[in-house]
């Protein structure tokens, strides 16, 4: 599972050939969530502060995330995405 970003202790990753809907995985201190590209939590959970950061990051980088989803669907290497600052 390629890691595409890291900020404030949160690791953001996407799987090759993952299931729909398009989403990414956020991991913070052992807590995990699958998050749709629009910021909706599909599965799992994160602490509220970290979830808000992940959702803000997803909003800022929604086009980059969509492009990475397509790259991964075609078995290509995803691009790194700038962290939240």
Q: Which domain holds residue 27?
A: 3-73
> Would 9 be classed as within a structural domain?
yes
> Would 41 be classed as within a structural domain?
yes
Instruction: Tell me the pTM.
Output: 0.94
pLDDT in tens, the chain (85 residues): 789 999 999 999 999 888 999 999 999 999 999 999 999 999 999 999 999 999 999 999 999 999 999 999 999 999 999 999 8
> Would 85 be classed as within a structural domain?
no
* Cβ 4 vs Cβ 12: under 8 Å: yes
Number of domains in the chain: 1
């Amino acid at each position: 599972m390629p890691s595409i970003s890291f900020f404030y202790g949160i690791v953001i990753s996407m799987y090759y050939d993952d299931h729909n809907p398009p989403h990414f995985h956020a991991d913070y201190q052992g807590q995990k969530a699958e998050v749709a590209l629009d910021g909706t939590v599909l599965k799992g959970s994160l602490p509220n502060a970290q979830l808000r950061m992940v959702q803000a990051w997803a909003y800022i980088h929604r086009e980059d995330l969509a492009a990475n989803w397509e790259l991964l669907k075609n078995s290509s290497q995803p691009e790194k995405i700038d962290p939240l600052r």
